[in-house]
Amino acid sequence: MDKTNKFVASLNYFSVFFAPFLLPIAIYFIADHHEVKEHAKKALISHIVPFLSIVGLIIIGLFSMFSNPTEATFFTVFFIGMVLAGLINLIVVIWNIVKGIKLLMSV
């Protein structure tokens, strides 16, 4: 893989900061190189994970609110869910940075 393709592949991972869904999708359909497409697909999946964690948090919060209507239980579950979602998001961002830097360092 040449320098340009490695740069574009690493840009997929760094796009978590400025265009998490759009850039990997666009690069996946525009790029001709197989490895660039693979990195675009991996980056897109890693950008979807934080979105799914937030959706899961909302679902768990609603479930706890309707299954046990006490406010203390709802806020406890919601707080624990927020902490877990925050940790998942932090891990995903760090993973994207590491993958992008590894690709740039291999140039």
Q: For 18, which DSSP code?
A: T
In angstroms, the CA 50 to CA 55 distance is 9
pLDDT at 15 (0 to 100): 92
| Average pLDDT taken over every residue of the chain | 87
Could you report the per-residue pLDDT of 67-99, keeping only the tens digit for each?
766 766 777 777 888 888 889 889 999 999 999
> Does 102 have pLDDT greater than 90?
yes
The pLDDT tens digits for 17-30 are 988 889 999 999 99
* Domain membership of residue 63 as a residue range: 3-105
pTM for the structure as a whole: 0.81
Residues contacting 57, CB < 8 A, separation 6+: 78, 81, 82, 84, 85
Tally of domains in the chain: 1
Q: State the DSSP code for 31.
A: -
The mean per-residue pLDDT over the stretch 52-69 comes to: 77
